[in-house]
Amino acid sequence: MMSDCLFCKIIAGEIPSAKVYEDDAVYAFRDIAPMAPVHVLVVPKQHIASADGITPENSAYVARIFEVIPKIAAAEGLTNGYRVITNCGEDACQSVKHLHFHILGGKKLPDQMA
Ligand code: DGP
């Protein structure tokens, strides 16, 4: 755990969150400022700063996250599709420096990515 990391504090329960999923490696919770009817953030419990910090040593966390994402999507009723996004670094406007994947769905999303 990184003591100054917002999402590490959420994972630890020091900051409340609306949890939608948890296992030994993965935590998922509702985004505080949803941009779609369903907007869930999926994070590794191990602190990884961003997609830029994925290595052979920690990439299993990413695999676990992508195994969990379809389960969350199904539980949220996203039968017509959804989008998975990770923002990495300044140009992508990453605001929380703990790797996280946004699941967005529940409506037809804009077709442009940027
Ligand atoms: P990004 O811009 O990709 O770093 O996304 C960070 C997201 O985190 C953003 O959509 C808002 C969300 N967020 C920030 N602070 C909190 C918080 O305290 N609780 C929850 N649930 N979400 C937060």
Ligand 1 centroid from CA 69, angstroms: 18
Substitution candidate for ligand 1 out of 19, 20, 85, 95 with most atoms within 8 A of CB: 95
Dist. CA 48–CA 61, nearest whole Å: 9
In this structure, the residue with its CA closest to atom 19 of ligand 1 is 32
Cα(41)–Cα(27) distance, integer angstroms: 8
Q: Is 14 exposed, middle or buried (0-12, 13-18, 19+ CB in 10 A)?
A: exposed
In the DSSP assignment, the letter for residue 51 is: G
pTM over 0.85: yes
Q: What is the pLDDT of residues 79-107, one digit of tens each?
A: 999 999 999 999 999 999 999 999 999 99
